[in-house]
Amino acid sequence: MKIKSDALGYYAILEVYPQDDISVIKERYYEKAKYWHPDHNQDERSLEIFRRISIAYDVMKDEKSRLYYDLLSLVYDEGDFPKIGSLKVYKNQAGKEDKALRVLKQRRVNKGVVRESKDICNVSEANGLALSTSMNNWFKGWWGKRGFSNTMQAIRFNLREADGNDEDNLKLLIHNALAYAQENNAEMAWVYAKQAEMLLKNETEAKKLLEKFVAGLNFMPRKSVKIPRWNGAEIRRRQFLAPLVLGLVIILCVVMLAAKTSFYASQIGANDKYFEERMVGGAIMPSDMVENKILKVDSDPRSSEYLVHFNKDCNVYYGPSTKYDVMGEIDEGHTVRITGYTYDKKWYQVIVDNGERVYVRREDIAKGMGNPVPFGSQVYKGN
């Protein structure tokens, strides 16, 4: 983690060091102000240098503002350095104050295009964002040019950044510590300062500044005041929920397809399985087991949708096989209505004029009405 210092160059313009006492700073200021005062210094730079010296001294002459400057200089550059006296608190995604905020950095890939985001959020919000990003990357990231490569890099980046222990997070913690102190909220300032200390680890000089800040709060935390822990492990686990779900869906689809294929294989091409002898009055008739193997059609006698006609004179049977007894012969052009069929669609169950259901081979019928349906027929009520 890169630690900065003297972001606005205040120590440099006064030609002093951060460890110098306030008396040294005052002495150096008077010397330089006297030298660069535009009333008696004719250098064209004198007015600008005198202005910069005065601004720096306004901050350095007060211990509190100097400490704020030193802490902010650890994490801010000249380009984004905030106004010391008017810091605003960062809040969570819901716009509420929160003790456990971090900057969650993530990369999303959509058809190979990479977009990086930085979201200030608490642990719960981070978990939701991580899951959303994971779903996006695993389901949308692979497509397009360089999609696979960019998605793999994004996943590695998201795993690495899950702990929230980089410069952006140190900036957030220090900023909020100072902002809460300005609002006289010592508890929140203490909580954020302690979290910043934990991120600094071996940065001795920076930790000393935070320790000095904490001491100046004069805050004695109650037992109920706890330092939040950022759960980077849980955020990393969320990165793999999407592929887990994807894998389970694929396995389920394969299992269902295999089961369906096996079921149809047990039915198709085995006409003998439709044949079961049952003697009724000396005739072989289809049993309930055979009927259960027929795919039923909800054919309304008032609709012509399932009407078919015979394309030649042929026999019809009591079951879906020539092993069954012949029910009779039907003339070419005779109209009947489909009520079911076998799984392989080699045999169709049809209803004839008297309401009886018989079986006919697929090649013996053609779609649509043939000869007109006689009055009182059970085949078609549309007339």
Nearest to 50 by CA among 28, 35, 65, 69: 35
Which range in 186-190, 271-275, 303-307, 378-382 is most confidently predicted, on average pLDDT? 186-190
Phi, psi of 328 (to 5 degrees): 165, -175
Q: pLDDT at residue 382 above 60?
A: yes
- At residue 290, the pLDDT reads 66
**CB-based contact 348:364 (threshold 8 Å):** no
| The model's pTM | 0.64
Residue spans of the domains in the chain: they are 10-80, 167-229, 279-367
- At residue 270, the pLDDT reads 45
Confidence of residue 138 (pLDDT cuts 50, 70, 90): confident
Which helix (H) or strand (E) segment holds residue 102: the answer is: strand 102-110
Confidence of residue 107 (pLDDT cuts 50, 70, 90): very high
Summarised one tens digit per residue, pLDDT across range 195-245 is: 999 998 888 889 999 999 999 999 888 888 888 888 888 888 888 887 787
End-to-end CA, the chain: 87
Confidence of residue 21 (pLDDT cuts 50, 70, 90): very high
- At residue 231, the pLDDT reads 86
Distance CA 113, CA 106 (A): 14
DSSP H helical ranges for 145-226: 147-160, 167-182, 186-200, 204-217
Domain range 10-80, CATH class: mainly alpha
Summarised one tens digit per residue, pLDDT across range 41-75 is: 889 999 999 999 999 999 999 999 999 999 999 99
CATH of domain 279-367: 2.30.30.40
What does the mean pLDDT of the chain come to?
Answer: 87
- Per-residue burial over 80-99, b = 16 or more CB atoms within 10 Å of its CB, e = otherwise: eeeebeebebbebbeeeebb
Distance CA 123, CA 298 (A): 55
Mean pLDDT of 174-181: 96
Q: pLDDT at residue 139 above 90?
A: no
- Classify 131 as helix, strand or coil: helix
Distance CA 185, CA 45 (A): 43
Q: pLDDT at residue 285 above 70?
A: no
For the chain, helix, strand, coil in percent to 5 are 45, 15, 40
Domains 10-80 and 279-367 share a fold: no
Residue 70: how many CB atoms within 10 A of its CB?
Answer: 23
- At residue 274, the pLDDT reads 54
99: Cβ contacts below 8 Å, ≥ 6 apart: 188, 191, 192, 228
